[in-house]
Structure 1
C-alpha cells in the first residue's frame, strides 16, 4: 500500500489544502487590519525568557497565501517537467519542505526561532541546487551555501547582541549601546539571502537546480526572505542614520548591474535570474527611499509573475530537449499558443505595462521617488534601470517567440493540462493581483499630486526601451548587443561586473595555493620522510643489508662464534 503512494501526485493537493486554510485568515486580517500575537514562555535563562511566539498579521498571512498558491502550481508543473526522474518523490518532498519552512519566517517574530527557519532554507536550497549531482551543480550549491552561511553568522551575532535587551522578539527592539552593530548584522544577513552586492553571484549560479526549484526559490521562498526580514525589522533599522542611505546605494548598484548583465546573457534561466536580482534591487531601493509598503507590494506581485515566467521558460526548456540557450528557440506561437500568451503576459507584468500587476507596484515606486525629495543622481539611475528591464525583456521575447526557429527539425512542441493549468492560474493572478491589492489593502500609499509629465514618464520610458530593443534586434545580428563587441564590457557583463571571479576564484585562489604548497612540501615530503613511511623504509633497508651480509657459510659461523666468545669473555 505504501509503495503505491506517490508523493509527487499529492504534494500539489497538500499545498492547495493549506492555501484553502490560509485564505480566510488572510481576508479577515487584511480587511480589518488586525494583528494576532500569541506567546508561550518555554523557560528562562538568566532572567531572559525563552518564548515561542506566533504572529498573524496582514503582511505575513498575505505573503504566505501567495507563496502557497505559487507552490501548488509549481508542484503541479513539476509532475510533467520531472516525470522521467527516478527520484521525483524525493524532489517533491524537498520542494514541499522548503515551502513549509518558509512559513516560519512569516509567522515567527523571534530571532531564535527565526534562525531555525533561516538556516533550514539554506540547507534545503543547497540540497535542491545539487540535485542533478554533477560538478556544475556541486559548485553552484557550494557557492550558494557558503554565501548564505555568511548571513547565518550575521543572524547569530545579532542574537548575541540582542541578549542584553532581555528578549529576542522582533516587535520589541529598542536602543542599546550595540544597536548599530545589530542593524549592520541584520542588514548583512538580509543582503546575503536576497543576493545584493557584493553577494550577488550565487543567484544565477543556483540556476543549476531544476526549473521547478528555480520557480520556487526565485519567486516566493528563498530570495524574498531577506526582503521580508528587512520589512519586519524596518521600524528598528531606521533608527540609525546610515541605514537608508547605505541600503539605497547598494540596491541601486545591484539592480543596475543585473540589468546590464541580462542584456548580454543567452541562457534563458540566467536572464530570468538576473531579472529577479534586478527586481530585488528595486524592492530594496523602495525601502531605502522609505517606501516600505510599496516594497512589500512589489514583492507580492513580483512573486506571482516571476513564477509564471519560470513555468513558461520550463515548458520551453522541456520542449527543446532541456536546452536553455535562446539561440535554439523561436517561433513557438503556432504549436504552443497558451505558453506564448502567458509568456507575453508575464513579460508585460515584469516591464510594468499599464494595468498589469507590475504596473501598480513598480510605477508607484517610480512616481513616489519622483514626488518625494530624493537624490537626483539616484533617481536618474533608477529610471535607467527601469528602461533596461524593458530592453532585455523585449530581446528575450523576440528570441523565443517571434524569431525564426533554430531548434532541431522534427521537434514536437506540446501542451497538456498539467502545464497549461498552472500557467493560466498564475497568469490570471499576474493580471488582477496588483489592482486587487491596491483597492483592498489598508496599507495603501498616501495620495500624491504629480503632473502629467511625471505620471506618464515611466510608461513612455518603457515603450521607448521596447522600441529600441526591437530596432536593435531587427537591424543587427540576432541576440548580439553592442556590449558584446568590446571584450572588456562583454566579460564584465557576463561575469556580473566580475563579481563571479571576485567572490569565488579570487577568494579561494590564495588559500588553495597555500594548502597545495603545504601538501607538497610537508605532507608529501618531510612528513613522509620522517614519519611512519620513512621509518618503515629505513628499517626495511637496514634489515635487507644485514641479511645480505649474513650469507650462509662456515666462515660466517666461525666469525659469529669467535665474536660471541670474545663478548662472553669480556663480560666474565
Structure 2
C-alpha cells in the first residue's frame, strides 16, 4: 500500500500539471444532467469548467500528490495505513466535487463530504484530545451546513439552485448575509476560529491538506464564486471586511506567543485566510483567488517540513525543544526557509506577488485609516511570527532531551518537497501571466517598496525585546495568556458552553428527563392507558351485566309463556 500511495501521488501530480496547462485555454463551460423535474423546479447535476476551476484543481492535485508521496514515509509504520489512504482520497475527492459543481443542492456532496471526512481524520489517533478536537470541528462546520440548507430552502421558488446568479438577491435580500456567515464557519473567521488550531490533532499530512487547499479554503472558494451576489449587498461586504480584519490581527497576535509548532502554522493559515476575505470584501476577486492559489503551495510545504521536524524529535511539538535543527535536518530547514520567506512576501517568491498586490490595491480603494492600520498590523505580525519560528527551529537552544531518530533525510522527502518548492517559488509569476486580469497591477514607488524591508529588523527588535524583557509590563502573564487563548475565544466558544451545560446538567436532568418529559412521555402514557383501560373494563362489566339481565328476563318470559301454553 505504501507503493500504491506513491503511484497515486505521481498520478495526482500529472493531473495537476495537465490541469495547469489547459487552464488558460479552456473557455467557460457548464455540463448539466437533469436528475428530477417538476412543473415549478427541477434538480440537476452540473459541472462547471473554466479557468478558475482548472487552476484550483491543478493546485489541489499537485499538493495532494506531494502529500501522498510524503505519507509513504511519514505514515509507513501505521497499522491502519489503508484506511488512512482511503480517507485522504475521499477528502480530496470531496474538494474536487466542491470546486466543479455550481448547483447548490449538488454542492452539498463536496461540502458535507469535507465535513465528515475531516472529522474522521481529526479523530484518527483515537484519544480524548483527538475526539474533543474532532467534535469541535464537526459541530462548528455543521453550522455552515445548516445555513447552506437554509439557503437551499429559501431558493425553492426560484426554479433552480445556481447561486452564482446575482438576480437572486432581488427577492432574497438576506441571502448574502446568510451566505457570508455560512462560509466563514468553514474558513474559521471570528467568532468560529477556535476549531482551526484544535484540528491540529490530525496527522501532519492531513493538516497540510486541510490548511493549504481543501477544508479551510472551501468557504473562501464558495464566496469567490458567489462574488456577484455579495457585491449586491453592502452590508454583507462590510460584515466580511470587519470580521476578516479582526481575525487577521487576532491570529497574528496569538501566533506571536504560541509555542506549539503546528498551531503556529495553523494561526498563520488563519491570518492568510483573513487576507483573502479582506481582498474579497474590497471587490478584488481575482487577487483573492491569486492569493488562494499562492498560499496553498507554500503553506503545504511549511507543514511538511514541520512534520519532519516533529517526527524526527519523537513527536515533540514545543518549539522551545526543537532548536539546532539546521545542522541535523539541512534539507528540511532549507525548504522551510523558502516557505517562510514566501509567507512573509519576500521578493520574488509566490507570496510576494499576491500579498503585495492585495496591499497595493487596497490602498487605492480609499477606505478609512483604521482599516489600513489593522491591515498593516496584521501584515507585520506575519513577519514577526515567521521570524520567531525560524530563529527557534534553526538557531534556538534545544532545551529538550530528545534526539533526532535518523541520520539522513529520506529521498522520498526530497521528492515531496521538490514540487511544492517549485510552486512556492514560481507559481506567483506563472499565475500572474496566465490570468489576464492579473497581468496589470498598480505599482508603488521604489521608496514605498523599500519601506517593507524595514519590517525585518523591526521584527528582530521585537523578538529580542520579548526574550530579554520577560518581566516588563507588556509581557505579563495575563497578557500572554490573553493572546495565547486567541483573545479568550477558545474559552468563550468551546469551554464556556460545555461548562454551562455541565453545571446545569442536574437541573436539566431533574426538570426535563425526570420531569415533564416523563409526564408527557412514558409515565404520562402509562397513566393515560391505565385510566383508559380501567374505564373500558368498567364499561365492559356494565355491558355484561346488562346483557346478562336482559338474557335472564328473556329466558324467564319464554318459560312463563311455555307454561301458559
TM-score range, shorter chain: 0.7 to 0.9
Q: Does 1:13 align with 2:11?
A: no
> Is contact 1:39-1:51 (8 Å) kept?
yes
Structure 2 CA distance, aligned partners of 1:292 and 1:54?
21
Q: Does 1:503 align with 2:493?
A: yes
Correspondences of 1:373-392 after superposition (within 5 Å): 373-392=366-385
Deviation at 1:74, TM superposition (A): 1.0
Secondary structure of the 1:456 match is: helix
Flag the 1:153–1:451 CA change in 2: closer, same or farther, 3 A.
same
User: What corresponds to 1:96 in structure 2?
Assistant: 89
Deviation at 1:179, TM superposition (A): 2.2
Flag the 1:173–1:147 CA change in 2: closer, same or farther, 3 A.
same
Secondary structure of the 1:38 match is: strand
User: What corresponds to 2:416 in structure 1?
Assistant: 422
Correspondences of 1:466-481 after superposition (within 5 Å): 466-472=459-465, 475=468
> Is contact 2:204-2:303 (8 Å) kept?
yes
Q: Does 1:302 align with 2:295?
A: yes
User: What corresponds to 1:160 in structure 2?
Assistant: 153
Deviation at 1:80, TM superposition (A): 1.9
In the superposition, the TM-score normalised over structure 2's length comes to 0.87
Structure 2 CA distance, aligned partners of 1:503 and 1:46?
45
> Is contact 2:260-2:317 (8 Å) kept?
yes
Q: Deviations over 1:448-492 (max 9, x none)?
A: 2533343333x2353244332453366456xx99754241x2221
User: What corresponds to 1:433 in structure 2?
Assistant: 427
> Is contact 1:347-1:393 (8 Å) kept?
yes
Secondary structure of the 1:354 match is: coil
Correspondences of 1:129-528 after superposition (within 5 Å): 129-176=122-169, 178-408=171-401, 411-414=404-407, 415-444=409-438, 446-448=440-442, 450-457=444-451, 459-472=452-465, 475=468, 484-487=475-478, 489-519=479-509
> Is contact 1:13-1:72 (8 Å) kept?
no
Structure 1 CA distance, aligned partners of 2:516 and 2:220?
53
Structure 2 CA distance, aligned partners of 1:105 and 1:527?
42
> Is contact 1:351-1:462 (8 Å) kept?
no
Deviation at 1:234, TM superposition (A): 0.3
- For structure 1, which runs of at least 5 residues remain unmatched after alignment? 1-5, 533-572
Query: Which one of the candidate residues 27, 39, 49 is aligned to 2:32?
Result: 39
Secondary structure of the 2:438 match is: coil
Structure 2 CA distance, aligned partners of 1:445 and 1:370?
19
> Is contact 2:122-2:130 (8 Å) kept?
yes
Deviation at 1:383, TM superposition (A): 0.5
User: What corresponds to 2:65 in structure 1?
Assistant: 72
Secondary structure of the 1:73 match is: helix
User: What corresponds to 1:62 in structure 2?
Assistant: 55
Q: Which region of structure 1 is more displaced relative to structure 2, 463-472 or 152-161?
A: 463-472
> Is contact 2:247-2:271 (8 Å) kept?
yes
Structure 2 CA distance, aligned partners of 1:180 and 1:63?
30
User: What corresponds to 1:48 in structure 2?
Assistant: 41
Secondary structure of the 1:333 match is: helix
Structure 2 CA distance, aligned partners of 1:436 and 1:481?
47
> Is contact 1:387-1:465 (8 Å) kept?
no
Deviation at 1:163, TM superposition (A): 1.7
> Is contact 2:40-2:157 (8 Å) kept?
no
Secondary structure of the 1:170 match is: coil
Deviation at 1:438, TM superposition (A): 1.3
Deviation at 1:440, TM superposition (A): 2.5
Flag the 1:97–1:525 CA change in 2: closer, same or farther, 3 A.
closer
RMSD of the alignment, in Å?
Answer: 2.4
Q: Which region of structure 1 is more displaced relative to structure 2, 278-287 or 500-509?
A: 500-509
Flag the 1:44–1:527 CA change in 2: closer, same or farther, 3 A.
closer
Structure 2 CA distance, aligned partners of 1:404 and 1:275?
23
Secondary structure of the 1:199 match is: coil
> Is contact 1:261-1:494 (8 Å) kept?
yes
Deviation at 1:518, TM superposition (A): 3.6
> Is contact 2:314-2:402 (8 Å) kept?
no
Q: Deviations over 1:286-307 (max 9, x none)?
A: 1112211111111111100000
> Is contact 1:94-1:124 (8 Å) kept?
yes
Structure 1 CA distance, aligned partners of 2:291 and 2:114?
22
> Is contact 1:191-1:226 (8 Å) kept?
yes
Flag the 1:396–1:509 CA change in 2: closer, same or farther, 3 A.
same
Q: Deviations over 1:10-51 (max 9, x none)?
A: 134224324424543442331x36212111122213421211
Q: Does 1:115 align with 2:143?
A: no
Flag the 1:250–1:481 CA change in 2: closer, same or farther, 3 A.
farther
Flag the 1:492–1:229 CA change in 2: closer, same or farther, 3 A.
same
Structure 2 CA distance, aligned partners of 1:132 and 1:269?
16
